[in-house]
Structure 1
């Protein structure tokens, strides 16, 4: 029986992909569904699946980083990346699914995987081609609208970012601004040494964190130094603070 891992930080999308894969491939055994990159690497080592469907944009480790731990596992990237990345995948014969994944494209991918008998291709070419994007300089300031004017907000001023439907709230000590960049896209532009995702809808400035507290129900909450907001810390992201 063919085994598979699915890794996506959006549970509904992961569950939907699993359901559709089972319908198209009754003999496929989905042995693990990981909610982030760290869980995905652990599952790769523990379960050694034949296939891994990896979302590229995940907290902790990206799908590209997780793929480096895939030795005898054939990787399928599930991505909303632009054509630059897709060209790199095609050039290296790497399987990928572009979000939102259509039924026809998923069926095509499944058919190809069922027919493949050769060893998984070397991922080095695709990952090397994507390296320039991974090393792009992090943001240092944001452009935000303020009435009839445009303002620059330094990243040092930002306490946290919060998803707001299709937009993102930028919260400073005394103001709240709305930008059009989605949270997932914004995360890729931030310095991971300064900002961390703590919830599917929240990114926090690590320098603004005062302490992390567990309530009576066992839920973890992030308290800030200069703001009275109390932010939820999801279990999927708690590993980032184990040494704090």
Structure 2
């Protein structure tokens, strides 16, 4: 009844048998489980451990289980009788955690010629095939510095980079749309801390590039 009064919650299903819930959990599309601790068949702590990757709020009449609950990363521990405002606070904690879990990553951990590094997407202007070894990729950063990625494919990079922020423009170059100064039918000019860089825009990638710059609101 209380959950139904919280707009952020959608009740998928309610169970009065924890073992039945475990049997059906793979059939249910849910992110949060609100459970008691003292239950027949299996206790709530064991239930929570079985729900790997799911958020859990405990509601119970027993305060002594709180330490165990937080050891298994429970979002909150509410003691009965449950009040609406207290449940709402617990749900807000869940929303904060869930947003962090589902947020798109802002960087990529990579192997470079200097060791392991973090490649922050917002700092990238262009990624090119290295001249000495095509398995490596040269990154031009927005401050003019460079980074050499070791044994990295374009396919992996394109799968890892935010698709709405980066685009391949030819066989050897990926550009950040935020770095585009202007472009023509066959050329893209990038603004960097060093003199502007010109890269070719080939027919294979032209349509996708034009669609992305249009979506990004760049001037044609």
The TM-score normalised by the length of structure 2 is 0.41
Q: Which has the larger radius of gyration?
A: 2
The TM-score normalised by the length of structure 1 is 0.38
Structure holding more strand per residue: 1
